[in-house]
Amino acid sequence: MKIALAQLDYHIGNFEGNLEKMLGYVEQARAQGADLVCFGELATCGYPPRDFLEFDDFIRRSYTSIEALKAASSGIGIVVGSPTRNPVVEGKDLYNSAYFLYDGEVLGVQHKTLLPTYDIFDEYRYFEPATEFKTVEFKGKRIALSVCEDIWNVGNENPLYTICPLDEMMAEKPDFILNISASPFSYDHAAVRIHTVRANVERYKIPLFYTNHIGAQTDIIFDGGSIVMSPDGQVFDEMPYFEECLRVYDLEEVTRGGRTAEQPKEKVQLMHDALVVGIRDYFRKLGFKKAILGLSGGIDSAVTAVLAAKALGQDNVRVLLLPSQFSSDHSINDARQLAVNLGMQYDIIPIQPVFAAFEQALQAQFAGTAFNVTEENIQARTRGTLLMAMSNKFGNILLNTTNKSEMAVGYGTLYGDMCGGISVLGDVYKMEVYALAEYLNKDGEVIPQNTITKPPSAELRPDQKDTDSLPPYEILDQVLYQYIENRKGPRKLVEMGFDEALVARVLRMVNMNEFKREQAAPVLRVSRKGFGMGRRVPIVGKYLS
């Protein structure tokens, strides 16, 4: 039997687009002699569809796509994910299902049992878990069909669920497992994914074919990396990251095994590739082509600009240099040099006159008060307004350049440097931004060396340095990582050796600034725990704040 895995970039709610794409791949698979072609979880409607699932019309359109795929299944099996209405009145109204279509018929439907409801996932919000587990018989083989999380409750130290759906299916002695997934990228996820697939193969001793989505849906990025694993526990094949791809596998060869084909999983490169895809798909799926951003001469905007150029093409990225009276000459020079290196259109618009107009407007109210964070914020908001004006006038989406460290501690101005349609670096700690910069410069200096080596500064008052307000990033980033990614509380952090006063100060900054993150741009998620839907923290909470 020849099994084709298709890892595709779906688009939420774009039923026509998703269907047309799948129909094209059905024909490709057929042309390559496949008996069966497998698409992703909820591939008809895209993932995650979120509350669109509450609209009957949305479900109806998903069924329409299933009908069209059924009609295209003559002589070739099609496995595809789509929502199913729950006919039982009790329980949630939908199932998250894998359909097995063949010769114009539905050969089998397996609903998802384990409904991820953590981090960015909300599946129990919509779906009833399966209570029936049946294999599908196809061309003399028994197939254990499963959706994403249903293979993730095996081999964990702290399993999230009390049931294991594949255990239930083994009574029917399937010949192999098919899993259709929508499993989002994080820079350490590919290894975890292989570990999970292997835990299943070691438990059930049969081949496992796993197919994933690629592409970004706003903040959530899918990396593909679909896996074929032989019963010997070796990765028979791992499909490319971040690329649409169809490959056909011979079941006998896979069952025989003896082949290992894993890809390198280098963190900085994966982050880089994910961010480029994240930018590209945000624009493409919204129907935009052109970006704008402010270049400060600092490293965050520099890295963002290079990534944007890679994602959209340098001609589609316009930059503004917006110096104030506090900007140093080297900042302007560094920013200009970067724009020149990238061949981007740049404008220099000094913000001092607008800042002066604001000061003048507020003269009566501010009389007798000292320059403080207010005036710093006015500068940042003047820049935000200028960038948004260019965005509005010329149809460029503004890219936000805030990094994760700043976003965590609230070191940024709401409606100022926090403006933007999408946050490119909001899930990248400052020290990781440096690593990205080095990576981007690996084949020659694109980002001026001075941008990388100088001490970080917001340049909103004379001689300002980030370290005036924040611990050094080398330490700050470690505390933040342990608190945010690893959920270590204040006691644990002190036990780990961090200074108690510093821990209290950092955690307080993080928790107090939830109100800023609430209004931040969506953040391209590249870690296990990004800001946004995956991290839900009360604003008026009084915890460690």
Residues 112-171 that bind a copy of itself (CB under 8 A): 115, 117-118, 122, 124-125, 128, 157-162
Q: Of 23, 30, 58, 504, which lies in the binding site for a copy of itself, with binding defined by CB under 8 A? A: 58
Residues 226-265 that bind a copy of itself (CB under 8 A): none
* Residues contacting residue 162 through CB under 8 Å, at least 6 positions apart: none
CB of 320 to a copy of itself, least distance (A): 9
Q: Across the strands, what pairs with 102?
A: 105
CB of 258 to a copy of itself, least distance (A): 35
Binding segment (CB under 8 A) for a copy of itself, from list 36-44, 110-118, 264-272, 472-480: 110-118
By C-beta, is 161 or 439 nearer to a copy of itself?
Answer: 161
By C-beta, is 125 or 442 nearer to a copy of itself?
Answer: 125
* Residues contacting residue 299 through CB under 8 Å, at least 6 positions apart: 433, 434, 437, 447, 451, 452, 456
Residues 266-285 that bind a copy of itself (CB under 8 A): 281-282, 285
Say what angle helices 473-484 and 500-512 make with each other, to 10 degrees.
70
d(CA 279, CA 276): 5
* Residues contacting residue 6 through CB under 8 Å, at least 6 positions apart: 22, 25, 29, 37, 38, 39, 40, 211, 244, 245, 246
By C-beta, is 310 or 381 nearer to a copy of itself?
Answer: 381
Q: Of 40, 46, 77, 530, which lies in the binding site for a copy of itself, with binding defined by CB under 8 A? A: 46
516 burial (CB, 10 Å; 0-12 / 13-18 / 19+) is buried
By CB under 8 A, residue 415 contacts a copy of itself: yes
d(CA 35, CA 24): 16
- What's the sign of the alpha-carbon dihedral 527, 529, 531, 532? positive
Q: Of 36, 414, 424, 436, which lies in the binding site for a copy of itself, with binding defined by CB under 8 A? A: 414
The catalytic position among 21, 70, 112, 430 is 112
Query: CA nearest 511: which of 477, 465, 542?
Result: 542
d(CA 164, CA 404): 36
Q: Is position 41 annotated as part of the catalytic site?
A: yes
By CB under 8 A, residue 518 contacts a copy of itself: yes
CB of 439 to a copy of itself, least distance (A): 27
Residue type, 25: Y
Binding segment (CB under 8 A) for a copy of itself, from list 54-62, 174-182, 203-211, 251-259: 54-62
Binding segment (CB under 8 A) for a copy of itself, from list 29-37, 190-198, 434-442, 535-543: 535-543
The β-bridge relationship of strands 227-229 and 317-321 is: unpaired
Residues 463-492 that bind a copy of itself (CB under 8 A): 487, 489-492
Residues 332-371 that bind a copy of itself (CB under 8 A): 347, 349-351, 353-354, 356-358, 360-362, 364-366, 369
The catalytic position among 21, 38, 41, 245 is 41
| Three-state DSSP state, 171 | helix
By C-beta, is 77 or 421 nearer to a copy of itself?
Answer: 421
Instruction: Give me 110's structure tokens.
Output: 């397996």
Q: Is position 459 annotated as part of the catalytic site?
A: no
By CB under 8 A, residue 184 contacts a copy of itself: no
CB of 222 to a copy of itself, least distance (A): 13
CB of 460 to a copy of itself, least distance (A): 12
d(CA 522, CA 419): 11
Query: CA nearest 317: which of 293, 284, 286?
Result: 293
Q: Is position 148 annotated as part of the catalytic site?
A: yes
Catalytic residues: 41, 112, 148
